[in-house]
Structure 1
Amino acid sequence: MHGWLTTPPGPGPHPVVLIIHGGPFAQVTVAVSDETQVLVDAGYAVLACNPRGSAGYGQAHGRVIRRRLGTVDRSDVLDFLAGALADAPKLDAGRLGLMGGSYGGFLAAWLTAHDQRFTAAIVERAFLDPETFLGTSDVGDFFVEEYLGPSRALRNAQSPQELVDRVSTPTLLIHSEQDLRCPLSQAERYYFALKRGGVAAELAIFPGEDHELSRGGTPRHRLQRLELILDWWDRYLPVRPAPHART
């Protein structure tokens, strides 16, 4: 499995942000990522990989997660994280953040329902609730049955919304008001369930933007989005942890 580690200068240990790409039939490449560069410049090490389900490795590799989202893709991401932490002493294994958009937001939410190692998470423009997605997304009639299956039971078995009561990780949700791919209701229902469960959660909604906010949004909103992300990590995953109070 291929992936990339980008680190700030200095010996570390650096806090780590694991980023999961969207799609799922998409891929992380050698192209420069403004998001990665902003995080590295702020002092974070960034990990990103291509788990099973990603594009670029043939149809079998891409289709293996069909109707089993959150299975081998989850294990691949966590195995990549474990391998990077074992091989790179510059990384701080005790300070881990997690973020992803669209399908990456789905998998980030799915991971926080199954794994408590992450200090905080950012779930962006995410696919979170298959049942409501089916009737509201511009690709809902295709995506839900193709990737998750035709039955409600099968879809619920792959639904972050169904497992939200297991989440305790502080979570920032970022969504666009005019997102037709992953409608705003996906984030609103998930956010409400997190708050009802006592989880530290925030929901940021960008007016006038769609699913392409991070790539094609207005410059002002793209800047505000990055500032939100940095503020969230500074609160929950500071580059320099506050020193212990003297007694």
Structure 2
Amino acid sequence: MPKRSRRYSEAAKDFDKTQTYEVAEAVQHVKELATAKFDETIEMHIRLGVDGRHADQQVRGATVLPHGTGKSKKVLVFAKGAKAEEAEAAGADYVGAEDMAQKIQQENWFDFDAVVATPDMMGVVGRLGRVLGPKGLMPNPKSGTVTMDVTKALEEIKAGKVEYRLDKANIIHVIIGKKSFTEEQLVENANALLNAIAKAKPSAAKGQYFKSVTIASTMSPGVKVNSASLG
């Protein structure tokens, strides 16, 4: 556990962790509690009232945050021929096919943050499921990363597209920005994510959908959002 600064300890001591806030207030508190000397990452942790073990209650998708995440993403594109040329022209960091799959398998190479693939390449990419899947890097049609429109996919990822999916505890974890963002930027990013997840609500979901929502920075305690008002 990293040693906390006196400033952090003072801020945390006076902070009521049981209190819930509207999104804007929660963001304000997180920024106040983010006292590290580096530009801390701000994340949302959203627990949903679904059971992801059932296919009809899975929640997965992607949305473009209006202000991005504050992190420039390196994108690997699996494509051949004209689509490979298109990907290079659109700003892909790496483009390839079997050669890239081999590099990942043989060299344990993961110098990228997102993967896009044209549908015809999924035979090659599918063999990487065991290594890409656990890292959340496997291309998926639902998140728009298996597509013939590689230019659009690249533009969205570079503009701040984030993917969301349930973990085993039915919680979604997504970066919504950096401490250096303004409160307004963080609030708009948070609301964009919440709206996307609300629209992705499975018809099989019963009862309260948003069980709990917490916003936290890299080093701060979590600040709870009033999830009852979210539905």
Structure with higher RCO (Cα < 8 A, 6+ apart): 2
Whether TM exceeds 0.5 here: the answer is no
The normalised TM-score by structure 1 is: 0.28
Could you state the TM-score of these two structures normalised by the residue count of structure 2? 0.29
Structure number with greater Rg is 2
